[in-house]
Each structure stands twice: as structure tokens, then as C-alpha cells.
Amino acid sequence: MTGTALITGGSGLLGVNWALTIRDDFQVTLAIHQREIAVQGVSTMSIDLESGNDLKRALSELQPHLVVHAAGLTSVESCEANPELAYRINVQLAANVASACAAFGLPLVHISTDHLFSGASALVDENAPIEPRNAYARSKAEAEARVFDAHPRALVIRTNFFGWGPGYRRSFSDLIIDSLRQGETLTLFEDVFFTPIVAAELIRAAHQLQAINVAGIVNVCGDERVSKLEFGMRLASIFGLDDSLIRPGSVANQPGLVQRPHDMSLSNKKASALLGRELGGLDKQLAVLLQQQQLGFANEVLSI
Ligand SMILES: NC(=O)c1ccc[n+]([C@@H]2O[C@H](COP(=O)([O-])OP(=O)(O)OC[C@H]3O[C@@H](n4cnc5c(N)ncnc54)[C@H](OP(=O)(O)O)[C@@H]3O)[C@@H](O)[C@H]2O)c1
């Protein structure tokens, strides 16, 4: 074992992927909120992230070598409907976790998003000006600032990931695979772009960056900018699924949606230079997803 790791948002899509990915190397504790879960080889602990005292109790007890903050209110619609709640969960909890980690001298990896920009530019780097378009983006932008105020050596990762999700939390790739396996048609936007990375590669890169003491903002995403439609077509191809069930759609025809950037693509040049390697194009990311299915990872996550 390399050490102990505490991951907030323990029942979330990223939290469970993180735990399963590193459990052979780390003693992992997932910080749990409302949903109780059980993951083989991983501990869980109920921690009230709103309470500085409870956080300190947990850190004293666990003495982790690393904290990953992956808790959040991630539904863009829920954040827009309740911006105060978005602020409380996305900003306040991040600030609390960062303060507690700083007080204990612990390294912190804070998970941010690719959703912070207007979408007017493609493949934006870490220095691009933030222009939040909705309450989710505003809360995540404010969270980054509050994390650095409390913990200047924090590693803040901007990303957009996919991976195998539990039954109660299906990911973007799960939704596509589930639909195609059931023979259902689905519509994917041809005019919304991103640079997706598979969760396992995001997690591997985060640990490598942390191991070389990188602080500050780093985009950790795939090498390739693709539309949601292209993502679905390439996923179908690699998984041998029927791509004729996928229909092109346009976000322009969805005026009811919460306003969001249509281009969320990030440049991963900084991460690539720091790591001394490429993070990989979409086919590489999808090949990891397929391999995880073959190794039983997908079924284990599904059963959580
Ligand atoms: N999914 C993506 O593609 C994506 C893209 C870019 C960035 N991100 C960022 O990545 C991080 C993880 O995302 P995710 O998709 O894994 O999230 P998720 O599946 O929606 O899970 C959110 C987690 O946060 C916990 N949580 C919510 N309110 C809480 C509270 N008041 N106190 C403590 N824990 C609380 C939830 O626990 P309960 O269910 O028990 O409340 C759950 O474990 C987030 O910071 C998100 O902004 C995600």
C-alpha cells in the first residue's frame, strides 16, 4: 500500500471509480453523505462536510496522505433551479475541505469542470478567462477561487470524464450503451463539443501530477475534441453496437435547456508536458472502457 486516501463524494460516479481504480495501492476511505454504499476492499465513513469540526475529526482519525474532493451538486438543472443550494454544496463544501486539508498540511486534489467558459473558443487552456453561463458554472468557478484561498498548494483539475456508473448513477457512456443494447434510438448533439477522458485515465493522471507535487489548475482531459454525436458513434463502433440507432440532434432545437457552453473542449498541453506523455485520443479512452468491461469492472460498479 502506498498510503491512505480520503475521497469525498464517495457514492458519486467519480468517487466509486476512484476507489476501485486505486484500492490495490491505497487504503481508501469514501466519505459518504446520504447514500450508503459498500465497495469491496474500501472503507466508508459518514462525514458532514458542512462541519469543520467533523472534517477535523475525520482527518485526525484517518490521517490520509491525500484527499480528493469529488462531492458536488452536478446537475446543471438542479443548480439553476436552486442556486443557493449549488453555492452551499459546490462552494462551501470545497472551501471547508480545503481549509481542513490546509490545517492538517494534507495534499488536496479538487475536481473542477470544463463548464466554466462561454464556449466561444475551442481547446481553451488554463489561462483562458472564465465566463460562466449558468449557476453550476458560477458555483464551480467560485469553488476554485475559495479552494486556492484556503489551500494555495491545492491541485485543481478541470475535466469532463465518462466511465462505468452504478445502477443509481448512470454516466453519459452508460446512457448510450444502455440505449443501444436495448435497441432504443437516441439523439446526440452534433453541435456540442468536449474533450472527454475515461475516469481511470483521469485518476491515473491526477495521482501522477500529485506525486510530482503539481499545484494550481491543470486541465486533465482527452487529446481529442469531439461532438457528443461523434462520441456516441465511436463508442458504438468500439463496442460493436448498432450506430444506426443514433440520430444527430442540435442543441439549437432545445430552447428549454439551461443555457450552457456549446464548446467545452479543453487543451491538455500543460498536463501532457507535466506528465511527459500524451493523455490519449478518444479511441484510447474508449478502449480502456471496453477493457474495464472485459475485466469485470463494469459489473462490479453496477452492483454497488
Ligand atoms: N460527471 C461529469 O462528467 C463531470 C464533468 C466535469 C466535472 N465534474 C465534477 O466532478 C465531480 C464529481 O462528479 P460526479 O459526476 O462523480 O458527481 P455525482 O455522481 O453527481 O456525485 C456527487 C456526490 O456528491 C455527494 N454530495 C452531494 N451533496 C453533498 C453534501 N451536501 N455533502 C456531502 N456530499 C455530498 C453525493 O452524495 P449523496 O448522493 O449521498 O448526496 C455524491 O456522492 C464534481 O465536482 C463535478 O462537478 C463531473
Evaluated on CA atoms 225, 228, 230, 234, the torsion sign reads positive
196 lines ligand 1 (CB under 6 A): no
CB 196 within 8 A of CB 160: yes
Do the domain assignments include residue 218? yes
Whether residue 94 has its Cβ less than 6 Å from ligand 1: no
In a domain, 257, yes or no: no
CA distance 192 to 210: 31
pLDDT tens digits in sequence order for the chain, 304 residues long = 789 999 999 999 999 999 999 999 999 999 999 999 999 999 999 999 999 999 999 999 999 999 999 999 999 999 999 999 999 999 999 999 999 999 999 999 999 999 999 999 999 999 999 999 999 999 999 999 999 999 999 999 999 999 999 999 999 999 999 999 999 999 999 999 999 999 999 999 999 999 999 999 999 999 999 999 999 999 999 999 999 999 999 998 888 899 999 999 999 999 999 999 999 999 999 999 999 999 999 999 999 9
Is 240 part of a structural domain of the chain? no
pLDDT of amino acid 2: 80
> Is 113 contained in some domain?
yes
The Å distance, Cα 73 to ligand 1 centre, comes to: 6
The answer to the question of residue 248 being in a domain is no
- Cα–Cα distance between 63 and 37 in angstroms, integer? 22
Task: Give the residue, by CA position, lying nearest to ligand 1 atom 7.
Answer: 113
> Is residue 246 one of the residues assigned to a domain?
no
Domain containing 17 equals: 3-171+195-225+265-302
Check: pTM over 0.85? Answer yes or no.
yes
Instruction: Identify whether 21 is part of a domain.
Output: yes
Say if CB 31 and CB 9 are below 8 A apart. yes
Of 285, 108, 116, which is closest to residue 202 (Cα–Cα)? 285
Quick check: is 230 in a domain? Answer: no
Given a contact cutoff of 8 angstroms between Cβ atoms, the answer to whether 12 and 70 are in contact is yes
Domain total of the chain:
1
Residue 76: phi and psi, rounded to 5, are: -60, -35
Atom of ligand 1 nearest to the CA of 114: 6
Cα 82 to middle of ligand 1, angstroms: 16
Q: Show the beta-strand stretches assigned E in the chain.
A: 3-8, 26-32, 43-46, 66-69, 108-111, 155-158, 161-162, 186-189, 193-194, 197-198, 216-219, 226-227, 246-249
Angle at 66 (CA atoms; ends 64, 71), nearest 5 degrees: 100
- 2: three-class secondary structure by DSSP: coil
Q: What is the CATH number of the domain that holds 130?
A: 3.40.50.720
List the strands of the sheet with 216-219, edge to edge. Answer: 43-46, 26-32, 3-8, 66-69, 108-111, 155-158, 216-219
